[in-house]
Amino acid sequence: MNPRRNAMGLAGEIEEKEQSPAPPPRTARRRGLPRKIENIVWARAAGRCQYAGCNKLLIGDQVSGAANANTAYIGHIVADSPEGPRGDPIRSPKLAHDPDNLMLVCDVHHRVFDREMVAEHPEEVLTAMKRRHEERIRVVTGIDEDLGSHVIRYAARIGTNESPLAKGDLKWSMIPGRYPLDGGWIDLDLATLELPDHEPDFWRTHIRNLRTGFAEKVRGRMERQEIRHLSVFGLAPIPLLFELGRLISDISAADVRQLLRNPKGWKWDPVGPPIRFGVKPSNQAACPVALKLEVSASIVDERIHAVLGGGEAAIWSIGADGAHNDIMRRPEDLAEFARLFRTTLDAIKLAHGENCMVHIFPAVPVSVAVEAGRSWQPKAHPTLNIYDQNRKLGGFILAHQLEHVG
């Protein structure tokens, strides 16, 4: 053996060992989590990233096509060692295997809060993210399967404004009382129809399209019992919503929803004040007969007389104390209005005869218009002429008629 070669080899081995990093002390190595703890963390997160706004499903990879790939990381809120992010000499060992201290996250957000932006992610921020995510999962997974609903979205241009109805906003307003069924979205939208509401064809075109869409997408499925419950979201001119309600009718099980202005959204306000409604009968026996619906605003009688010819008219009213445009906030108040609308139509028929026609002048929220249409009984109630306030034309105009059928 060559002494020089042996010495050089030995020196190389020594140099290589000196350059290679020493293994970390045994106490600094991260201990694996018990399988039971991992299962708890996965279950609470429902397999989705708990970082706020992410919610990414952590099973499967679309790029590789590996349907069962596990892409999750379990990160510590308080690090499992005092030297780690948010670590603490006393709490770190205690919380190392505590499910309340562990978050299921994707690779991106694991790097964000553990390496790249540690200072921006203190313990309280991560704890709040985890709590909100797990509370949402508890609510969603706790919904009974019988609470599934088909969702009707109906939007049509209101004046110059378009009225989109985002699926996400509608879905979360339904939970936990209801949830949209898979494939249960029914769109009757016509928000892109380029036809201003002062044009003569506006109402005729919208009514025809609404009836056609409802017949194609809803009526047959309801008759075949494929649709058992409807959640109805409408943003459209009031006469069109009357027609939508007539098509649905009160025979169908349906929840009609209202867009609240403050805070903006479709979720009912559980602590909203109850509405005090009042019905004012007319002391006139003459015709024509008008019914003011003063829920969002009051309507002066002079506006009614201007439309109906200026002569004598029997003017009835269903009004709300303190009427304003964000007054309808509880489903109980909507149900009470529907009851009053039916009983008032019955009273008008009794007072003015079976063949009278009722001119409806509405200042109402969208949900009230739909419920009024549902409450109207074609074989029992008078024919309704529905008017719409049109600023361009300077007042109420006749927009649509709910006709009495034989």
In a shared domain, residues 226 and 319 = no
Kindly state the average pLDDT of the residues 3-23: 42
Percent of the chain residues topping a pLDDT of 70: 87
Would you say residue 349 has pLDDT above 60? yes
- Per the structure block, which two tokens stand in for 134? 């797990």
In a domain, 123, yes or no: yes
What CATH number did the domain enclosing 257 receive?
3.40.50
Q: What is the pLDDT of residue 61?
A: 80
Please give the C-alpha separations between residue 222 and each of 148, 171, 252, 278, 375, in angstroms, as whole numbers.
Answer: 15, 21, 8, 35, 18
Domain identity same for 248 and 314: no
5 occurs within a structural domain = no
The structural domain count of the chain equals: 3
What is the rounded average pLDDT of the residues 381-394?
88
Asked, for residue 128, whether it belongs to a domain, the answer is: yes
Same domain, 282 and 220: no
On whether both 391 and 303 belong to a single domain, the answer is yes
Provide the 3-class DSSP secondary structure of residue 400: strand
Domain assignment present for residue 21? The answer is no
Query: Is 204 in the same domain as 304?
Result: no
Whether 10 has a pLDDT exceeding 50, the answer reads no
Range of the domain at 360: 277-402
The model's pTM = 0.71
Are 316 and 345 part of one and the same domain? yes
Q: Between 180 and 393, name the one with better pLDDT.
A: 180
pLDDT in tens, 219-251: 999 988 899 999 999 999 999 999 999 999 988
Q: Are residues 338 and 253 in the same domain?
A: no
Indicate if 254 and 292 belong to the same structural domain.
Answer: no
Let me know if residue 10 belongs to a domain: no
Give the number of residues written for the chain. Answer: 406
Which of 71-80, 142-151, 161-170 is most confident? 71-80
Do residues 233 and 155 both lie within one domain?
yes
> Which of these three, 141, 170, 189, is where a domain ends?
141
Which pLDDT score, from 0 to 100, does residue 26 have? 34
Element (DSSP H or E) covering residue 318: strand 314-320
pLDDT the model gives residue 16: 43
CA distance 283 to 301: 14
170 and 134 co-located in one domain: no
- For residues 152 and 36, state if they share a domain: no
CA distance 240 to 210: 8
